[in-house]
Amino acid sequence: MDKPDPDDLADLARMMMEEGRHGGSEAVRQFIDYGEFDLSDYVNSFNSEWRLAVFHPVVYRRHVLWKRRASQLTPGTPAYWDLLVEAEHNLTTAEFGQLDISFAERARLRIIRQSHGMEWWTFRRLVCNLGAKCKDQKLQLREPPKLAVQVLSIIRKTWAIISCYLVLGATVQLLARGCLDCASAGAYMLAPMLLVVWWWLHVVSEGWTSSFVRLRAISI
């Protein structure tokens, strides 16, 4: 077998999976030596805690079933590798959401995440955010426009002040009059919408900046 190009992770990943399906070990060993990523160990030791069960119950159930089925197979056999591929794709749904990221890129990101001791759900919040984007099946950083972020941040703070003023004003009137009038009821009914707008402004300002800075800090 030709020696894989060390600069082409996608080619290396394909060779690993093909060799693994036929019970071979050379491509598997080369991939582990290069990327320090053991797919079998990663899937087996994936932290399927309560967050996975609550937010991705289907993924959690499939992962539990995979462990039961995998325990009955011999590691390194074609059947085991085929099952391992299914398990990895299943976990990808929880880790990267709808992002179309190649296997080699997923391995690279997992290595980075593990090296920084970051949980999968924390990393997902960062990559499934405005601070990152997927291009050609690879994750790239998306730097926020500074001026736009500053303007949106000012709007968010102003919006928060106005929202608090409306709700507090309605509460004072309610306590003073002892009954709920139309103005107070309207303020309370608008409260959820005010909160949603505030959160959206936070996501496209401080949230975007925060995710970009953290992803850049861990050398994505």
- Three-state helix/strand/coil letters over 20-60: HHCCCCHHHHHHHHHHCCCHHHHHHCCCCCHHHHHHCHHHH
pLDDT over 50 (residue 24) = yes
Residue for token pair 């500053």:
150
Max CA distance (Å), the chain: 84
Helix axes 9-21, 103-115, angle to 10 degrees: 100
Domain ranges of the chain: 9-128, 146-217
- Angle among Cα 36, 104, 72 to the nearest 5 degrees reads 70
- Does the pTM exceed 0.85? no
Say what the pLDDT of residue 185 is.
77
Euclidean distance between CA atoms 47 and 50, whole angstroms: 9
Q: Which residue has the higher pLDDT, 141 or 38?
A: 141
Tens-place pLDDT, residues 62-94: 999 998 888 888 877 778 878 888 899 999 999
Q: Which residue has the higher pLDDT, 23 or 96?
A: 96
pLDDT over 50 (residue 34) = no
Tens-place pLDDT, residues 119-156: 999 999 999 989 999 988 889 999 999 999 999 999 99
Poorest-confidence range of 12-26, 55-69, 120-134, 198-212?
A: 12-26
Q: How is the chain split among helix, strand and coil, in percent rounded to 5? A: 70, 5, 25
Poorest-confidence range of 5-14, 26-35, 131-140?
A: 26-35
Euclidean distance between CA atoms 40 and 71, whole angstroms: 12
